[in-house]
Amino acid sequence: MTFQPGTPDHPLRIAIFGSGPAAFYAADALFKQTNLTVEIDMYDRLPTPYGLVRGGVAPDHPKIKTVTKVYDRTAEDPRFRFYGNVELGRDVTHDELLRYYHQILYCTGAQTDRKMDIPGEDLPGSYPATEFVGWYNAHPDYRDLTFDLSQERVAVVGNGNVAMDVVRILASTYDELAKTDIADYALEALRNSKVKEIYILGRRGPAQAAYTNPELKELGELAGADVVVSQADATIDPLSAADMERNPDRIAEKNVETLQGYAATTPSGRPRKIVMRFLVSPIEIIGSEHVEAVKLVHNELVLSDDGTLRPRASAQTEILPVGLIFRSIGYRGVKLPGVPFDDRHGVITNIEGRVIDTHSQLPLKGEYVAGWIKRGPSGIIGTNKPDSVATVNAMLADAKEGMVNEPEQPARAAVEAFIESRQPDVVSFDDWKLLDQEEVARGTAVGRPRIKFSRIADMIGFIKSKKGVPTPSGD
């Protein structure tokens, strides 16, 4: 007879790695199961939960962040535990975890960026947008970076929503940013920014942009910046026009309309200018010690075999003088130690959420994946809900068949003692709530929504002080 955990005496014990949207939607779907006793331990390498909702969503998009209230309800479930400040590979290994859980679900997102692979990309002054986003959102990994905001001309490569976020933050006034929960050091650095002109470089045309229309419109609503689009850039070429007729796309239609509106508007002389360029690709970043310019090739669109319009380089090039360049051409997943990885696509090797052994091509018993590290960095927060539910369905189907890992020590207390032995500074959800309340209190005191902790040592020190735990320095 196959062993089926999931009863009150033998709960189905699940570890979820990562605590962003995909992780919480999966936990919620698992808790909703009736006739199944399940316990979930959610791990994060940071002391703080919510993944990209905290470290990625733009500070001036507070409504999007209210989704954490839904996640908090999941976290209040007595079957849920949070183990923050615990890193896979550093504090615990993949094989060790298999001693404690029937199933492991990886929801670690996409933690790095894609590169353009062009000469000069690593010059000082050339940065991935992902690092800038982490920096202004007080992510501990990026808080000590510096960005040369003494430059007047900046290029942002890519036409996605992350590019829009980066441009908005660069173009916002101090007053606009001070209303947000942007990192306090970033607020100060941006207050002194000399940036005057921001070029958004799209390799295809206005009808192929990946950003959504509200984000495009927000650029036109900034107090201190004009949006500039030339008539030539806003004009739709015959191939795009035919494509839009064949495959009507409401977002593309609205974007074209908005861009044509920008092209028809005379700049009002605001201190900053956002210039939107299309059909250009960087082919070299020029500079001796620092970025001085970017060499662009002009593209034309061609119909590819899969029916999409792709960019093809022409013979025409231009030099655009800029002192700072952010590439915003997509996130990329990072390999977890001991977990199969598809390097080409930057995702954990999987078939519909079941982790696949790269050699045997067979599913690894009890290991699953959801979110960006499963399907790649696409979609909005809500896209992760059906994605996680699909993986949970695979987990439940396998559990029903007894296709689970068989841990040596499935008791909850056993893993708790083990984690504490490896990471004495493990952060519980109640500990996180102490940080959360303090961030809000610090913000309220100065008329801001919150002031975020950005150093792990400060977070741990604060939690200890609140709980009356002595620290090495005695404070």
Q: Which residues bind ligand NAP (CB under 6 A)?
A: 116, 157-163, 165, 203-204, 208, 210, 215, 281, 328-331, 377-380
DSSP labels, 173-213: -HHHHHTTT--HHHHHHHHT----EEEEE-SS-GGG--S-H
Taking the least distance from each CB to ligand NAP, the nearer of 209 and 460 is 209
List of residues 6+ apart from 328 with CB closer than 8 A: 128, 129, 156, 157, 158, 160, 162, 163, 166
Side chain identity, residue 50: Y
Nearest to 141 by CA among 66, 81, 42, 54: 54
How many C-beta atoms lie closer than 10 Å to residue 100's C-beta? 23
In whole angstroms, the minimum distance from the beta carbon of 164 to ligand NAP comes to 7
In whole angstroms, the minimum distance from the beta carbon of 157 to ligand NAP comes to 5
In whole angstroms, the minimum distance from the beta carbon of 162 to ligand NAP comes to 3
What is the side-by-side strand order in the sheet with 309-321? 280-286, 293-303, 309-321
Taking the least distance from each CB to ligand NAP, the nearer of 88 and 116 is 116
In whole angstroms, the minimum distance from the beta carbon of 424 to ligand NAP comes to 36
Q: Which two tokens stand for residue 464?
A: 């200890």
In whole angstroms, the minimum distance from the beta carbon of 277 to ligand NAP comes to 12
In whole angstroms, the minimum distance from the beta carbon of 130 to ligand NAP comes to 8
Indicate the DSSP class of residue 63.
Answer: H
| C-alpha span between 157 and 329 (Å, rounded) | 7
Taking the least distance from each CB to ligand NAP, the nearer of 47 and 56 is 56
Taking the least distance from each CB to ligand NAP, the nearer of 11 and 311 is 311
Burial (CB count within 10 angstroms: exposed 0-12, middle 13-18, buried 19+), residue 314 = exposed
Taking the least distance from each CB to ligand NAP, the nearer of 56 and 366 is 56
Q: Which two tokens stand for residue 250?
A: 């409401």
Sign of CA dihedral 296, 301, 305, 307: positive
Would you put residue 66 in left (φ > 0), alpha (ψ -120 to 50) or beta?
Answer: alpha
| C-alpha span between 333 and 318 (Å, rounded) | 33
Residue closest to ligand NAP, measured at CB: 160
How many C-beta atoms lie closer than 10 Å to residue 9's C-beta? 6
Taking the least distance from each CB to ligand NAP, the nearer of 93 and 308 is 308
In whole angstroms, the minimum distance from the beta carbon of 432 to ligand NAP comes to 24
In whole angstroms, the minimum distance from the beta carbon of 475 to ligand NAP comes to 39
Taking the least distance from each CB to ligand NAP, the nearer of 67 and 389 is 67
List of residues 6+ apart from 231 with CB closer than 8 A: 263
Indicate the DSSP class of residue 206.
Answer: G
Taking the least distance from each CB to ligand NAP, the nearer of 184 and 218 is 218
Taking the least distance from each CB to ligand NAP, the nearer of 118 and 434 is 118
Instruction: Write down the residue that tokens 């007080």 correspond to.
Output: 138
Which residues on neighbouring strands pair with residue 281, listed in sequence order?
297
In whole angstroms, the minimum distance from the beta carbon of 163 to ligand NAP comes to 6
